[in-house]
């Protein structure tokens, strides 16, 4: 078989995404071309881009979104803002793709692949690891973190039924207290001028946090969030959820709807409403809306915060993997 490994730019991949999205498996929102470009422009630094598409004739086989620092290649992205990463490959063509990729990396003097964070079911773990080992390369994989996700039932009442009795009671009690506290309204914003306006509110709420959130949102990170929201809105994936009490913004979520799933990316709330659990309730109302819109899965994403388990989240192991190419 004859293969061609094409050097890509972000613009070339984005312009051809409508074609590539139907033949390649883009496993999560974190590997979409628009997301990768925003991350690179914010955090790329001194690394060298290694964007490659493998083709057999006109058929795309796979896409490698990598960056290279000295003799080490890693995914474009970082664990603090990209919950899990992977290669983008046509199902069933993983062996062809990875054999060509490993050979090309070795020819270019790259001695190590440092891949993280990886889901347990990523192609990097399920396919690349065994291929690299069969070629005699040293492979080191370690547990790194957990993500949590939930298969959504068809209705809100069915969702409540899967919760433990105590948690089901708490959800209902907290919602009742919220409705009794004033005129409460939850809505989602996903397009138009409102996105920018509500993102301003989200960032203002974020700055009110009394924990590590406030220090996390430095000027560089704020610029990344703004660019990310704009890019995701342009391709129809952004969801900004806002909970207002008597028309005052109390809490917000920033998430993405992609491939039948909702990704809860980040959240913020006003501490003056802490007694009403507005931060948690904003997430719950976002989850409820996802059920009503027919979403099949809810991704709480990385981190083992207790509320994720309480709301029905199930652990998804995340790993790091290093492959020594010598």
What is 231-282 written as a DSSP string?
HHHHTT-EEEEEEEETTEEEEEEEEEEETTEEEEEEEEE-GGGGGGTHHHHH
Identify the band that residue 211 occupies on the pLDDT scale cut at 50, 70 and 90. low
What fold does the segment set 153-295 form as a domain? Aminopeptidase (3.40.630)
Using CA atoms, how far residue 279 sits from 102, 171, 195, in Å, is 45, 13, 20
**What's the whole-number average pLDDT of the chain?**
94
Statement: residue 16 has pLDDT above 70: yes
Q: Minimum mean pLDDT among 43-47, 209-213, 245-249, 305-309: which range? A: 209-213
Rounded Cα gap, residues 224 and 92, in angstroms:
35
Q: What is the mean pLDDT of residues 259-267?
A: 97
Statement: residue 321 has pLDDT above 70: yes
pTM, 2 dp: 0.95
Percent of the chain with pLDDT over 70: 98
Statement: residue 241 has pLDDT above 80: yes
Among candidate residues 77, 64, 68, the one with its CA nearest the CA of residue 35: 77
Determine the angle formed by the axes of helices 33-43 and 219-234, rounding to 10 degrees: 160
Statement: residue 157 has pLDDT above 70: yes
Q: What is the mean pLDDT of residues 47-62?
A: 95
Residue pair 152/213 in contact by the 8 Å Cβ criterion: no
Backbone phi and psi for residue 177, each to the nearest 5 degrees, phi listed first? -65, -40
Domain ranges of the chain: 4-145+318-324, 153-295
Look at residue 154 in the predicted model and tell me its pLDDT: 98
Maximum Cα–Cα distance across the chain: 68
Alpha carbon distance, N-terminus to C-terminus of the chain: 25
Look at residue 2 in the predicted model and tell me its pLDDT: 87
CATH architecture for residues 4-145+318-324: 3-Layer(aba) Sandwich (3.40)
């Amino acid at each position: 078989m004859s293969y061609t490994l094409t050097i890509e730019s972000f613009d070339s991949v984005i312009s051809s995404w409508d074609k590539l999205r139907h033949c390649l498996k883009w496993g999560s929102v974190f590997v979409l071309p628009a997301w990768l470009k925003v991350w690179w422009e914010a955090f790329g630094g001194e690394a060298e881009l290694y964007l490659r598409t493998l083709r057999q004739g006109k058929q795309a086989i796979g896409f490698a979104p990598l960056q290279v620092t000295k003799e080490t290649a890693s995914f474009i992205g970082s664990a603090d803002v990209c919950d899990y990463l992977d290669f983008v490959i046509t199902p069933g063509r993983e062996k062809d793709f990875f054999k060509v990729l490993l050979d090309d990396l070795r020819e270019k003097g790259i001695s190590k692949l440092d891949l993280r964070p990886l889901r347990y079911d990523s192609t990097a773990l399920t396919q690349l690891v065994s291929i690299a080992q069969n070629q005699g390369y040293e492979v080191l994989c370690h547990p790194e973190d957990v993500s949590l996700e939930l298969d959504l039932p068809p209705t809100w009442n069915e969702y409540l039924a899967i919760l433990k009795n105590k948690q089901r009671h708490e959800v209902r009690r907290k919602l009742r207290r919220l409705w009794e506290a004033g005129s409460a309204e939850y809505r989602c914003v996903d397009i138009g001028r409102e996105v920018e306006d509500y993102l301003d509110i989200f960032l203002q709420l974020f700055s009110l946090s009394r924990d590590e959130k406030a220090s996390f949102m430095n000027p560089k990170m704020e610029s990344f969030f703004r660019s990310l929201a704009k890019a995701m809105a342009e391709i129809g994936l952004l969801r900004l959820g806002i909970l207002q009490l008597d028309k005052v913004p109390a809490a917000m979520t920033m998430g993405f709807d992609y491939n039948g799933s909702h990704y809860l990316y980040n959240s913020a709330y006003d501490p003056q409403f802490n007694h009403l659990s507005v931060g948690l309730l904003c997430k719950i109302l976002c989850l409820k809306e996802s059920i009503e819109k027919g979403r099949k899965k809810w991704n709480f994403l990385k981190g083992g915060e207790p509320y994720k388990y309480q709301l029905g989240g199930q652990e998804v192991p995340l790993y790091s993997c290093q492959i020594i190419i010598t």
